[in-house]
Amino acid sequence: MNNHYAPGGRPAGWLYALACGLLIFSGLAQLPVMKRYYLADLPGLAFSADFYVTSNLHYGAAALLLGLLAWRLGLALRQTGGRWSWGPRGRWGWTLLGLLLLTGAGKALRNAGVFVWPGMMLALDLTHLGAAMAFMLTGLGVLARRGKPAGARQTALARSRP
């Protein structure tokens, strides 16, 4: 496998970050918090209190993410090689992303009018919410660790090892 290429280069990473950022923001906005906590009062954020607008945004960002992941899958199937500069790097991240995609697909089908049994819907909603929270916290953890000076990071790493 040729690892000297990053497919899509930086723009692919930016698109992934954009999709995840929009998904997390519009997903949080699906909880009734934007108005309650005055976030929608911030300049330019009035739209965040409109559940329909943020739901459309969620769909748009989800389509972008699905497109990126499918593109990555296509390249992987062709074994084009390259080093991926974006996306989860471990099983935990991929599991969460997989759960989010599956439960999100279930919710989208239901929104399109397909009947889903109430018990199943409850499971989909809570799993989607829980996986999203875990994904967001994990992502924040990764970013925070990246932000630390190299020395501190290595000390933390050394401490975390038995």
Partner 1 sequence: MAPDISRRGFLTGGLAAAAGLAVSGLALPAALAAPAGQSDQDLCTLLDLSKCIGCEACVDACRDQWQADLPDPVQPIPRSLPARVPTEDWSGRKQVRDRLTPYNFLYVEHLEVEHAGRRVELHLPRRCMHCQNAPCADLCPFGACQDEKSGVVHIDPEICLGGAKCKNVCPWHIPQRQSGVGLYLNLLPQYVGNGVMFKCHRCLPLLRKGQAPRCLAECPQQVQSIAPRSAQAAQAQALARDMAAKDGASPERWRDYVYGLEENGGTNTIYVAPLPFREINAALLKDHQAKAHKERADAQAAGRPPEPGNLGRPAMGLVKNSMGDAQNLTLALAIAPVAGLAAGLGRLFSKTRRLAGPAAAPAKDSDSQKGGQA
Residues 32-51 that bind partner 1 (CB under 8 A): 32, 35-38, 51
Count of positions on this chain that bind partner 1 (CB under 8 A): 86
State the nearest-atom distance from the C-beta of 99 to partner 1, in Å. Answer: 12
Residue from the set 14, 42, 47, 140 that interacts with partner 1 by CB under 8 A: 140
Closest by CA to 102, choosing from 62, 142, 139, is 62
Q: Does 78 bind partner 1 (CB under 8 A)?
A: yes
Q: Angle 9-28/51-77 helices, nearest 10 degrees?
A: 150
Environment class of residue 59 by beta-carbon count within 10 Å: exposed (0-12), middle (13-18) or buried (19+)? middle
State the nearest-atom distance from the C-beta of 79 to partner 1, in Å. Answer: 10
State the nearest-atom distance from the C-beta of 128 to partner 1, in Å. Answer: 9
Q: Does 77 bind partner 1 (CB under 8 A)?
A: yes
State the nearest-atom distance from the C-beta of 46 to partner 1, in Å. Answer: 15
Report the 10 Å Cβ neighbour count for 58: 21
Q: Does 25 bind partner 1 (CB under 8 A)?
A: no
d(CA 23, CA 87) in angstroms, rounded, equals 14
Residue from the set 18, 25, 46, 82 that interacts with partner 1 by CB under 8 A: 82
Binding mask 87-116 for partner 1 (x = CB under 8 A): xxxxxxxx-xx-------x-xxxxxxx-x-
d(CA 72, CA 66) in angstroms, rounded, equals 10
d(CA 84, CA 16) in angstroms, rounded, equals 11
78: DSSP letter: T
Closest by CA to 141, choosing from 68, 64, 89, is 89
State the nearest-atom distance from the C-beta of 88 to partner 1, in Å. Answer: 4
Residue with smaller CB distance to partner 1, 43 or 77: 77
